[in-house]
Amino acid sequence: MSEPTVLRLSKLMADRGLCSRREADSYIERGWVKVDGELAVLGMKVTPDARIELSRQASGAQDDRVTILLHKPMGYVSGQAEKGYAPAVTLVVPERRWAGDHAPQRFQREHLRGLAPAGRLDIDSTGLLVLTQDGRVAKTLIGEHSDVEKEYLVRVSGSLSAQDLARLNHGLVLDGQRLRPAKVWWQNEDQLRFILREGKKRQIRRMCDLVGLRVVGLKRIRIGKVMLGDLPPGQWRYLAPDETFA
């Protein structure tokens, strides 16, 4: 008779979308997690069907976490500062909050603590960048099994045959792996619209290289159900309580 499958509790909590693994360990350490009615301990292993309960304190801690939507301009990196370029999070200051943001939060310095990009935009790309304190949001957008759509407007130079347009939609290989099917079509005479469900490094630029196109400009306009909309370049807003990506 085979041994029953067991998983580390923090991994199961992350797999269920309850929180990130790091958050799970923190909640367990604080006594905020019960498994099948018993207080959880750090490092414990459980079966995949275990009943997990989060305390009111854990739920409150999650409710306090913020997600920020930034219209990243060119010249900023998504994550850590590099080669003299500032990280996009340096734009999250009160004076750059969009006047059209109707979310109820008042800006607090605590909202910057642990704020990290959930996905990247290259230094020479613009558009919607998500910065979050919430591990659940990060998992939804960049977790191993994420298939949230990201939509881009891509200005290009060069000619594109119907056959190569079909290859952009499905048929290209990067880093030795076949890309997931995409949706790519002409927006106008020099601009393509891309919808992807994955995010390899500089993926769109490399896809265009493979079919003889040069990317002149790239702007992300949507992540899942959340649109860039009228958010001006260099400004930010909070994710509203009624907004979700998936």
- The residue whose two tokens read 């881009």 is 152
Three-state helix/strand/coil letters over 70-136:
EEECCCCECCCCECCECEHHHHCCHHHECCCCCCCCCCCHHHHCCCEECCCCCCCCEEEEEEECCHH
Q: Are 194 and 204 a contacting pair, CB within 8 Å? A: yes
Residue 180: Cβ within 10 Å count: 11
What tokens were used for 224? Answer: 């899942």
* Residues identified as active-site: 122
- Phi then psi for residue 135, to 5 deg, are -60, -30
The span from the CA of 40 to the CA of 199, in Å, is 36
Run of H or E residues at 58: helix 56-63
